[in-house]
Amino acid sequence: MMRQFARIPLPAATAVAAATLLAACGSGFDDDGDDAGSEATGATGGGSLTVMIGSSGEAETVAVQDAAARWAEESGTEVEVIPAQDLVQQLQQGFAGGNPPDVFYVSPDRFRMFAEAGSLYPYGDQIEDADDIYQPLRDAFTYEDELYCAPKDGGVHALVIDTEAWAAAGLTEADYPQNWDDLAAAAQALTTDGRVGLAFTGDYNPVGSFMLAGGGFFVNEEQTEVTADTPENLATLEYLKQNMDAGTFAFAPNIDAAWGGEALGSGKSAMTVEGAWIVGALQNDFPDRRWTAVPLPAGPGGQASTAFTNCWGIAADSENQTAAVELVNFLMSPEEQQTFAEAFGPIPSRSSLSDWNAETFPEKAAFAEGMENSRTQVAVPGFESVLADFNTQLEGMAAGTVTPEQALQTLQTNGEAALAQE
């Protein structure tokens, strides 16, 4: 029997086979050729584009797919829309492998990492009517004075109020809080047995909005310095701490709610601080809750809030950049932004649509107000772990094991270490 086998030296054959397989697997690594320069490549008509989105659900996926199909019909370029299971991870795989999707969502906190590495094609100068887009949203995607990509939507934190609880506490619309003292007083009036006045997710996002209103933030405007340990931020944390100790403010997890929306919807709190995503969540999960949203009350530093946005990133490695820019300009047009807003609820990033938005969706108006005074999330690479640690410090602050000073000092130290690694 043995003699029938061909006499190949087996270890050698194994090695050859393994090497072949390895080469095949690794082919994606080194073939990102010279075609991926800063010049736009490819031409319109023919060719194809891949669009990868981090979809919030079926409605968003279908809306983007429909819009892409409309454009594909017009332009003759095929478009495939892929809803990612885990956008961050799948994008990383694409970049590391040298074949990223052509167009994809980019969030502000990832943007700088992509931009620094030269993974994004900066097409800011080709965006039609770019000045119409809210300034803070453009700032979020500007690196070294160059706008890289078009913010596709935007919204800020607002104060969401349970109107029935509000009326039951003897308050009227005239009492909607204008400043922090009003807010504390309202929270006190709304606090009952089993319900706190104001509850919000105990993480850096809502606390960051309070810091902005208090005249501070995690980093400076240019994101080159950590500005955590400042008297303004300390005053903000002490304001929160004071009201939490009084039992009128709470972090949602401490009252057995996963986030602010659940706290408000389930009646565990009468007010919360959330972004526009709360609208759909309340409609779906707590349809009986009557609520309204008003702009966040002004703090010692004036009226300010965190803005949330995503942009349409185009890969530097894309072979069809001209077509990709055309697609993005199509999706950024006021008509398409309106279609998206109606389909799955994002707030348009164009300021010319603010009146239309306020009229069409009065319940969402507050989430678009004050966009001019907003800041977006910190973009410094490595800040994710730093802010995650700050969340832990905030938990400790709520539990009384960490003082506001300690929380800010730790944040300052960790943040400086992350910036130093730049």
**256 near another protein, judged by CB under 8 A:** yes
124: contact with another protein by CB under 8 A = no
Span of 43-51, 130-138, 250-258, 306-314 interacting with another protein by CB under 8 A: 250-258
Q: Would you say 61 and 83 are in contact if contact means Cβ atoms under 8 Å apart? A: yes
Q: Applying CB under 8 A, which of residues 104, 111, 114, 148 lies at the interface with another protein?
A: 114
**Looking at 2-10, 61-69, 129-137, 216-224, which segment touches another protein (CB under 8 A)?**
2-10
Element (DSSP H or E) covering residue 167: helix 163-168
- The answer to whether residue 25 forms part of the interface with another protein (CB under 8 A) is yes
- ∠ CA 283-289-293 to the nearest 5 degrees? 80
Residue number, 18 or 69, with CB nearest to another protein: 18
Which H/E stretch holds residue 14?
helix 10-25
Of 8-16, 51-59, 171-179, 351-359: span binding another protein (CB under 8 A): 8-16
Residue that has been written with the tokens 């659940």 in this structure: 262
What is the three-state SS of 36-73?
Answer: CCCCCCCCCCCCEEEEEECCCCHHHHHHHHHHHHHHHH
**What is the Cα–Cα distance from 296 to 314, expressed in whole angstroms?**
34
If one asks whether residue 386 binds another protein (CB under 8 A), the answer comes out as: yes
Shortest CB 340 distance to another protein, Å = 27
Which of 35, 46, 57, 88 touches another protein by CB under 8 A?
Answer: 88
Angstrom distance (rounded) from CA 138 to CA 156: 14
Nearer to another protein, 80 or 116 (CB): 116
* Helices 58-75, 321-332: crossing angle, 10 deg rounding: 120
- If the CB atoms of residues 254 and 339 are measured against another protein, the closer one turns out to be 254
Question: Which residue is listed with tokens 């109107």?
Answer: 163
Sign of CA dihedral 276, 351, 136, 112: positive
Size of the site for another protein (CB under 8 A): 46
| CB count in 10 Å sphere of residue 238 | 15
User: 131-170: which residues touch another protein (CB under 8 A)?
Assistant: none
Question: How near is the Cβ of 198 to another protein at its closest, in Å?
Answer: 18
- 12 touches another protein (CB under 8 A): no
What's the DSSP call for residue 268? S
Report the interface residues with another protein, using CB under 8 A.
Answer: 2-3, 5, 10-11, 13-14, 17-18, 21-22, 25, 29-30, 32, 88-89, 92, 95-96, 98, 113-114, 116-119, 253-254, 256, 381-386, 388-389, 391-392, 395-396, 399, 414, 417-418
